[in-house]
Amino acid sequence: MQEDAGGGLVFWHPKGSKIRRIIEDFWKNTHEEDGYDVVYTPHIANIDLWKTSGHFEFYRSDMFDQMDVENEQYQIKPMNCPFHCLMFKSDLRSYRDLPFRWAELGTVYRYERSGTLHGLMRVRGFTQDDAHIFCLPEQLQDEIVAVLDLTETILSRFGFDKYDIMLSTRPEKAVGSDEIWDAATTALKGALEQKGWGYEIDEGGGAFYGPKIDLKIRDAIGRSWQCSTVQCDFNLPERFELEYVSADNTRERPIMVHRAIFGSVERFFGILIENCAGDFPLWLNPTQMKLLPVTDAVQDYCKEVAAKASRMGLRVEVDRGNERLGKQIRNAEQQRVPVIVVVGEKEMENGNLAVRSRKLGDLGSFQVDDMLSEMKRCSDAAEEFTMIGAKED
C-alpha cells in the first residue's frame, strides 16, 4: 500500500510482482487447458450498462462516483459480469455453441469505507479471477463439477486441500421460477455429491439471482478463509435478454454461472503470505537461486551461470560479493532464497556449483547443467529441490 496515493490501493513492488505474474500465468494456462477462453474487458463503461445490469440501482452505494466524458456519464467498473453478457449478446448463438467459458483477471473498483479497509484482504481496487459460463440447463451439473475439479487443481497447487463448503439456497426475495431454482439447486447439490465433498446448507442464504456454493480454505494453522464461489444467475440473462437458438428453433435463455477460485488476486496473495509465513516454495519464490561469489575473479562465471538459468526460465540473482561468505549466506537465508550456490575458483575451474538448500543444508557439488536441469524440473513440478539421485562431482 502507498497511503499517499489513497487508501485501499495496492502497489505491487518488483518481488511481489514476480509472484503475481507466476500466479496469473499458472491460472491462465490451467484455464486454457480446461477449455476456457481468456478475455479482457474495459475498466469503465457508459452508465447505461450498469443501469441495464441493475448495479446502478442495487449496488450504487458501493460504486465510485460517475465521471463525465463528452457529456455522457461513465462508471468505473465494480464487476466484470455485465461485459461478458455484452460479449455473449454480440452474436447470434446456437445451442450447439454452448457452453461458453470465459475467464478474466479483471480489475474492479469498489467504494469500501475507510474503516473497513484491511491490508490486502479488503481493498478498493482488486483483480477478480472471474469466469462466466453460459450453458444449457442440461449441461449445468457437469459444468459445476468441472468448476469444482478446476478449483481443486488450482488450490492444491498452492498447498490448500482442506475446505469448508456451504450451499446457499433460495432467499425470500428472488428472481426466477421455482422450477429453475429447484433445478439449479439440485445441480449444485449433485455436483458436490459427485465430488464426494461434505457441505452444509444455508437455507435462504443464496443471492436473489440464484443459489451458490461458497468454499473456504484452511491454512497451515487452521484458519478459514473465504475464497472460491460458484453462483447460478437467472437475473442477468433476463436483464440483458440473452438468447440462444434451441434445437427446435425457438429462442431460449442460457444459464449463467459466475465463479471465482481465488476470489481476488490481492486477497489470495495475502492468504498465501499468511499460510507460508512469507517462505514461498521454490516454484513461487521471486528469487529461486542466489549465486554467492567468493572472490571478484568468479563474478563473470556467476553471471554466465545466471544467464543460462534465466534462459531456462529460472529466477536467479548474483550477490555483489561485498560481504564475507558467512554474511552472504545469512543474508540469502534471511531473504528466504530456497537455493544458495557458493562459487569459488575451484567451482569455476571445474564448471560446477557447490549447492546449498536453505532448508536441507549442503547438498554437494554438481555440474552446472545437471543442477539447473533438476532445479527446473522441480520448479515446474512444484516440488522441493533436493538433488537426491543426481550424480555428485
Into how many domains does the chain fold? 2
Nearest residue to 169 (alpha-carbon basis) of 210, 216, 227: 210
* CA distance linking residue 15 with residue 37, whole number of Å: 28
**319-331 as b/e, with b when 16 or more CB fall inside 10 Å?**
bebeeeeeebbee
**Same domain assignment for residues 257 and 317:** no
**Same domain assignment for residues 106 and 157:** yes
How much is the average pLDDT of 236-260? 96
Q: pLDDT-based confidence at 257, cuts 50/70/90?
A: very high
For residue 11, give the C-alpha cell.
502497489
Asked if the structure places residue 100 within a domain, the reply is: yes
How much is the average pLDDT of 21-28? 97
Active site residues: 81, 110, 128, 130, 132, 212, 258
For residue 180, give the C-alpha cell.
429453475
Does residue 1 have a pLDDT over 60? no
CATH number of the domain where residue 372 is located: 3.40.50.800
**Same domain assignment for residues 127 and 150:** yes
User: Is residue 61 packed enough to be buried (19+ CB in 10 Å), middle (13-18) or exposed (0-12)?
Assistant: exposed
Asked if the structure places residue 49 within a domain, the reply is: no
Instruction: Tell me if residue 138 falls in helix, strand or coil.
Output: helix
**Same domain assignment for residues 95 and 226:** yes
**Same domain assignment for residues 297 and 255:** no
Question: Which of 150-154, 159-163, 338-342 is least confident?
Answer: 159-163
Q: End of a domain among 244, 276, 308?
A: 276
* CA distance linking residue 293 with residue 344, whole number of Å: 6
What residue type is 27 in one-letter code? Answer: W
* CA distance linking residue 137 with residue 52, whole number of Å: 24
Asked if the structure places residue 218 within a domain, the reply is: yes
Q: End of a domain among 276, 309, 334?
A: 276
Q: What is the pLDDT of residues 302-335, one digit of tens each?
A: 999 999 999 999 999 999 877 888 899 999 999 9
Alpha-carbon distances, residue 21 vs 42, 67, 106, 285, 287 (angstroms): 20, 31, 14, 11, 13
Instruction: Return the pLDDT at 230.
Output: 96
**Same domain assignment for residues 239 and 323:** no
**Same domain assignment for residues 247 and 350:** no
Angle between helices 299-311 and 368-380 (to 10 degrees): 40
What's the domain range around 119? 3-41+80-276
**Same domain assignment for residues 264 and 304:** no
Asked if the structure places residue 103 within a domain, the reply is: yes
Q: End of a domain among 226, 244, 276?
A: 276
Asked if the structure places residue 69 within a domain, the reply is: no
Asked if the structure places residue 345 within a domain, the reply is: yes
**Same domain assignment for residues 103 and 228:** yes
Asked if the structure places residue 37 within a domain, the reply is: yes
Q: What is the pLDDT of residues 223-234, one digit of tens each?
A: 888 899 999 998
Q: What is the pLDDT of residues 350-371, one digit of tens each?
A: 999 999 998 899 999 999 999 9
Instruction: Return the pLDDT at 58.
Output: 82
Asked if the structure places residue 136 within a domain, the reply is: yes
CATH number of the domain where residue 178 is located: 3.30.930.10
**Same domain assignment for residues 220 and 340:** no
8 Å CB contact between 168 and 211:
yes
**Same domain assignment for residues 353 and 259:** no
**Same domain assignment for residues 88 and 198:** yes
User: Is residue 27 packed enough to be buried (19+ CB in 10 Å), middle (13-18) or exposed (0-12)?
Assistant: buried
Instruction: Return the pLDDT at 389.
Output: 64
pTM for the complete prediction? 0.93
Instruction: Return the pLDDT at 177.
Output: 84
